[in-house]
Chains A and B, each alone.
Chain A
Amino acid sequence: MLNRTAENVARATPEPLARKVRGISDKGLAWLFISPTILLLLAINIFPLFWAIYLSFTNYRANRPNEVVKNLGFANYQRILGDKDIWIAMQTTAHFVFWTILLQTLIGFTLAWLIDRKFRGHAFWTTLILVPMMLSPAVVGNFWRFLYEPQIGLFAYAISFVTGIPPTNIQMLSNVSLAPWSIIIVDTWMWTPYVMLICLAGLRSIPEYIYEAAEVDRASNWRQFWSITLPMALPFIMLAVLFRGIENFKMFDMVNLLTGGGPGSTTEVASITLKRQAFESWRTGYSSAFAIILFVAVFGLANIYVKALNKVKQR
């Protein structure tokens, strides 16, 4: 149908114009196709980014738009880098990113390694395992608050059933030392399938003949795992870590709904600090500077990491 429409349009177009459309050069067409996307990104991403950079040098406050804006130079940046709370938030973020990635990689790889055995019905169970990662972290994370409720929550009940600790004592969200783990658990539950799926692709990309050759050489299973399976799946594992790392560095929705950064500021990751500064204290200039620092950090770390990843791939 579309073809016919195109033809009709071509036929109905006056001759000189038709020649112009028909004669559009490949280069012209390339730009015609690409420019709308670039323009949209310039308007919605790049322009605001530059605005944020400008604001980061000022004392602008979004809730007082009529106040005179003063240029502060690098004062915001200096203040952030010297701010103890910011460094605590960065540590909280690092703790969160480290543990979620470690757990997700270990569990995810193990699951993939087991699924690769192709037991009967593996496709069905794999799909079932993948379900949590497709769901909205905010909506599901919100429901975990209910599961975490001491006493009436299923999680607390299950833990007390297994360990014998009275369920009223399992205060996952309000206990200072447990709250960070409550977030790590939900994140691991949700995103282990993600790592698993990428690892599975890695394991399936290993050609069979390598194992056959190893078998001929009478390499033990242990040896095969360490010398073939792991190194050959490594680029995939690293890719999964990169994606999870970036995502969890930006983590906002789940933390905001589960603990909101609390109790106190024990689970205040960088994004939560940013939200509190920007949309609760309305320190727009200051929070813009923090946003820029975060962006540079993610970008820089991701770049270094991709270089390392490419080196591993080349080996």
Chain B
Amino acid sequence: MSLTTAHSVVAPSANSKRIAGAIIIAYALISIVPLLWIFATSFKTPPDSIAYPPKLLFQPSLEGYCNLFTTRTRQTPEYINSLGPATDFCDETTRKRNMVIAGPSNFLPRFVNSLIIAFGSTFCAVFLGTLSAYGFSRFKVPLADDLLFFILSTRMMPPIAVAIPIYLMYRELGLSDTALGMILLYTAVNVSLAVWLLKGFIDEIPREYEEAAMIDGYTRLQAFWRTVLPQATTGIAATAIFCLIFAWNEYAFAALLTSGTAQTAPPFIPTIIGEGGQDWPAVAAGTTIFLVPILVFTILLRKQLLRGITFGAVRK
């Protein structure tokens, strides 16, 4: 598709462009407000975060981030005064609220779990997906359409419906609440996306390259390594990022199948509470840290986004 789709004869008038631009910019700005609010809240103190009317201007503070990474207990002022001088900023802020830091919170381990599970499952899904996509793209596989549809149909099940038997199966196999179990499950969910996307990318690589390589004496496998893989790197990278985002964002399976050691960040963040309810600055801080990688990836991926979200059905 060429870039010059503006209709030459019927090019929109300057005025209509201006109006369109104004509406789009207004929509974009309004739709981004909740995200800016998350970011702003993460730098508020707990009293500022629940002030009425909501505070637009405030003294930025790192208290939310302190609270995100620590657990605290309330102490008497006498006890706090009997302690030595505060060692760092978090210590000092906590003491001002008549509390002392009791230890690290679970956020960091949960975040690390998210990383391990997301990267592990992405690697497996892309590895399996690349092989199958090549198989489907280049060979006459009997019942190929049925198999491809079967691969896709596994994504139509409501996650809770899948979770019931998986829960029982993992209990039998000892995979409940383990990173391995979650990696296997996310790989299975992601592999359908990987196969469909990568098949599209590999279909676009001309067969002539491999055929030429094979005439030069390479086997099919070597031709796959030498010609197809290097040309598919963009597609593989885009697919990997989509798989990564899915695994990173996933909540339903994680909430039902993990509870402790293998719990990921999405089910953990909503459980961050302070005294008297949700500690919104800490929640916002966790949410901000959790969302930033995805923001970066979205910008990197913007050209491939359409393909990814439609399983390769729409390619531009």
Contact surface of A with B, Cβ cutoff 8 Å: 2-3, 6-7, 10, 21-22, 24, 26-27, 29-34, 36-38, 40-41, 43-49, 51-52, 55, 62, 111, 114-122, 125-140, 142-147, 151-154, 157, 167, 189, 192-194, 197-198, 201, 204-205, 208, 211-212, 214-215, 224, 236, 239, 243, 246, 249-250, 252-253, 256-257, 270-271, 274-275, 278-279, 284, 287-288, 291-292, 294-295, 298-299, 302
* Contact A146 B249, beta carbon cutoff 8 Å: no
Partner of B16, one of A117, A129, A130: A117
A-B contact pairs, 8 of them (CB 8 A): A27-B139, A30-B140, A52-B161, A120-B21, A125-B28, A152-B50, A278-B164, A291-B160
Q: Which of B72-89 contact A (CB under 8 A)?
A: none
B7–A275 CB distance below 8 A: no
How far apart are the CA atoms of A157 and B52 in the complex, in Å?
9
Query: Once bound together, how far apart are the Cα atoms of A32 and B132, in whole Å?
Result: 9
The reply to whether B8 and A208 contact each other, CB–CB distance below 8 Å, is yes
Give Cα A109 to B135, complex, Å: 37
Q: Chain B's interface: helix, strand, loop or mixed, by majority? A: helix
Residue of B nearest to A138 (CB): B251
Which of B41, B51, B245 meets A146, CB within 8 Å?
Answer: B41
Q: State in angstroms the CA–CA spacing of A122 and B134 once bound together.
A: 36
- Our pick among A31, A133, A154 for the contact of B33 (Cβ within 8 Å) is A154
A29 and B140 CA atoms in complex are apart in Å by: 11
A128 in contact with B32 given A45-B188, A198-B310, A208-B8 (CB within 8 Å): yes
Separation of A291 and B158 alpha carbons in the complex (Å): 8
Q: A24-B220, A33-B134 are in contact. Are A131 and B20 (CB under 8 A)?
A: no
A144 to B10, alpha carbons, bound, how many Å?
43
Asked if A198 contacts B306 (CB within 8 A), the reply is yes
B187 — which chain A residues lie within 8 A by C-beta? 40, 44
B131, B153, B297: the one contacting A37 at CB < 8 Å is B131
Is B112 at the interface (CB under 8 A from chain A)?
no
Could you list which residues of chain B lie within 8 angstroms of chain A, going by C-beta atoms? Answer: 1, 5-10, 12, 16-18, 20-21, 23-25, 27-28, 31-35, 37-38, 41, 49-54, 128-129, 131-132, 134-136, 138-141, 147, 150-151, 153-154, 156-169, 171, 184-185, 187-188, 191-192, 195, 219-222, 225-226, 229, 245, 248-252, 255-256, 265-267, 269-270, 278, 280, 283-284, 287, 290-291, 294-295, 297-299, 302, 305-306, 309-310, 313-314, 316
Provide the bound-state CA to CA distance between A124 and B290, in Å.
23
Assuming the A-B contacts A21-B221, A55-B165, A122-B24, are A208 and B5 also in contact, with contact meaning beta carbons closer than 8 angstroms in the complex? yes
Q: Judge whether A37 and B139 touch: CB under 8 Å.
A: no
Complex-state Cα separation, A37 to B128, whole angstroms = 6
Residue of A with least CB distance to B169: A48
- List residues of chain A with CB within 8 A of the CB of B54: 152-154, 157
Residue numbers in A under 8 Å from B128 (CB-CB)? 36-37, 40
Which residues of chain A come closer than 8 Å to B150, judged between CB atoms? Answer: 41
Minimal beta-carbon separation of B159 from chain A (angstroms): 6
Closest B residue, CB atoms, query A3: B226
Please tell me if the beta carbons of A51 and B52 are within 8 angstroms of each other in the complex: no
Most buried by A among B33, B132, B158, B256: B158
A29 touches B316 (CB 8 A): no
Which chain A residues lie closer than 8 Å to B298 at the CB level? Answer: 127, 130-131, 134
Question: In the assembled complex, how far is the CB of residue A71 from the closest CB belonging to chain B, in whole angstroms?
Answer: 17
Say how far A193's CB is from chain B's closest CB, in angstroms. 8
Contacts of A146 in B (CB 8 A): 41, 278, 280, 283-284
Q: Which of B18, B164, B287 has the most CB of A within 10 A?
A: B164
Contacts of B222 in A (CB 8 A): 3, 6-7, 10
Chain B residue nearest to A203 (CB atoms) is: B5
Complex contacts, B8 vs chain A, CB 8 Å: 208, 212
Q: Which residues of A contact B138 (CB under 8 A)?
A: 30
On whether the beta carbons of B34 and A144 are closer than 8 Å, the reply is: yes
A295 to B184, CA, bound (A): 22
Partner among A138, A214, A299 whose Cβ is within 8 Å of the Cβ of B270: A138
Task: Report whether A239 and B310 are in contact in the complex, using a CB–CB cutoff of 8 Å.
Answer: yes
Cα distance A167–B299 in the bound complex, in angstroms: 36
B251 lies within 8 A of A253 (CB): yes
B142 CB to closest chain A CB (Å) equals: 9
- Interface contact B295-A119, CB-CB below 8 Å: no
Measured between beta carbons, the chain B residues less than 8 angstroms from A197 are: 305-306, 309
